[in-house]
Amino acid sequence: MAAIETLEIRSPGIMTSVQDLGRYGYGRFGVAPSGALDSFALRIANLLVGNREDQAGLETLLLGPGIKVLSDTLIAVTGGDLRPKKNKQPIEMWRSHAFKKDDILSFGNAVSGFRAYIAVAGGIGVPRVMGSRSTNLPSGFGGHHGRTLKKEDILACNEPRGPMRDTGRVFNPDWIPQYSDKWKLRVVLGPQDDHFPDASRHAFLNCIYRMSQDSDRTGIRLQGPEILPKPDIEASIISEGVIAGSIQIPGDGKPIIILGETVTGGYRKIATVISTDLPSLGQIKPGDGIQFEALSVDEAYLALQEMEGRINDFKRKIN
């Protein structure tokens, strides 16, 4: 498959990286999934430009990049509203746009949400490492040379799958997520929820927590009432595997929502965010309020089936 030089980074933004849906199958080697934090936004962006939903795009934070287009293509921007522009004119999000050679994609200020996703027809053509194009930023591999993008980086895209006839393709407006500064995150309790007394579990499910400034791509740190374990219990547990969305409670009682850059951990976990709500973890901003709600695992499966049903409806509509 031929790759064509398609994008030149003029300004990198705060933290722009190449991500796909993550790297699975290497947990035994300590390799975490990485991947788009708001996977829903990346999947829809890909579908809007005629890609398979799992192709690589760009994830950017708060202050987006400035990008010069080097060859004619289709681009869609989804996720947080960072005010995307084409040649300084605002363009609609959750919609595909034709870009000609020398057109400029840039961003204004963040209006809502935290991370935007940029999909380009054909997908970003960086080499696969362990089956994925995602950038593992903590360990420095995958994506574009294992790092965030810099000024003058050139990204090649794979050849588009078909003719680029999808300009103006839009996502169903009713299904576009609305990001506010208050979030409800649904969780399945466990696997160590029984290490906490009723009072701690009650606080966890009934108080508002705030995302702390010292959060990063490895974890969302929360401020709020301390969650303390039962008395006479050891500070940590024997290290075990963890997944994105697991809510661990370290010794200071301040919850941390683990994101996709960690495979193991030695803190007890009171609950895990359900798959359907994982994309929200990419859009919560420092200072936002979070309330947790417990579901049964069967209720979590139903929620996921409903979300996947919408994506499948959209796929049927465009094919």
Partner 1 sequence: MLYDTPIFGLMGDRSLLVELGNEISPSVNQSVQELFVALDLHKIDGVKDLVPSYRSLLVIYDPLLISAPELERKIDDLYQGLDHARLPAPRTIEIPIVYGGEQGPDLESVAQYHHITPQEVIDYHTRPTYRVYMIGFTPGYPYLGEVPDAIATPRRETPRILVPRGSVGIALKQTGIYSVDSPGGWQIIGWTPVNLFDPQGQPPSLLMMGDRVRFQAISAEEASRWQP
Residue 157 Cα to chain centre, angstroms = 21
Task: Give 186's Cβ-side CA count (13 Å radius).
Answer: 15
Q: How far is the CB of 82 from partner 1 (least distance, A)?
A: 29
Question: By CB under 8 A, what part of segment 252-311 binds partner 1?
Answer: 263-264, 269, 272-275, 297, 300-301, 304-305, 308
* Residue found by looking up tokens 């010794």 in the block: 251
d(CA 305, CA 301): 6
Q: Does 24 bind partner 1 (CB under 8 A)?
A: yes
Residue 316 Cα to chain centre, angstroms = 24
Q: Does 26 bind partner 1 (CB under 8 A)?
A: yes
Q: Does 148 bind partner 1 (CB under 8 A)?
A: no
Q: Does 139 bind partner 1 (CB under 8 A)?
A: yes
Q: Does 234 bind partner 1 (CB under 8 A)?
A: no
Q: Which residues pair with 268 in a beta bridge?
A: 249
Q: Does 13 bind partner 1 (CB under 8 A)?
A: no
Which DSSP letter does residue 285 get?
A: -
Question: By CB under 8 A, what part of segment 173-212 binds partner 1?
Answer: 187-192
Nearer to partner 1, 108 or 250 (CB): 250
Q: Does 241 bind partner 1 (CB under 8 A)?
A: yes
Q: Does 135 bind partner 1 (CB under 8 A)?
A: no
Q: Does 28 bind partner 1 (CB under 8 A)?
A: yes
Interface residue with partner 1, options 240, 293, 306, 313 (CB under 8 A): 240
Task: Give 16's Cβ-side CA count (13 Å radius).
Answer: 26
Interface residue with partner 1, options 63, 95, 141, 176 (CB under 8 A): 141
Q: Does 91 bind partner 1 (CB under 8 A)?
A: no
Q: How far is the CB of 167 from partner 1 (least distance, A)?
A: 31
Residue 184 Cα to chain centre, angstroms = 17
Q: Does 18 bind partner 1 (CB under 8 A)?
A: no
Nearer to partner 1, 45 or 263 (CB): 263
Q: Does 138 bind partner 1 (CB under 8 A)?
A: yes
Q: Side chain identity at 147, as an amino acid letter?
A: R
Which DSSP letter does residue 273 get?
A: E
Rg of the chain on CA atoms, in Å: 20
Site string for partner 1, 31-60 (x = CB under 8 A): xxx---------------------------
Count of residues interacting with partner 1 (CB under 8 A): 46
Nearer to partner 1, 70 or 242 (CB): 242
* Residue found by looking up tokens 């208050």 in the block: 182
Task: Give 154's Cβ-side CA count (13 Å radius).
Answer: 7
Neighbours of 246 (CB within 10 A): 23
What b/e string do you get for 157-176 counting C-beta neighbours within 10 Å, with b at 16 or more?
bbebeeebebeebebeeeee
Q: How far is the CB of 186 from partner 1 (least distance, A)?
A: 10
Nearer to partner 1, 33 or 160 (CB): 33
The SS3 call for residue 272 is strand
CA dihedral 262, 133, 14, 156 (to 10 degrees): 170
Query: Which residues of this protein are in contact with partner 1, per CB under 8 A?
Result: 24-33, 129-130, 136, 138-142, 146, 187-192, 238-243, 245-246, 263-264, 269, 272-275, 297, 300-301, 304-305, 308
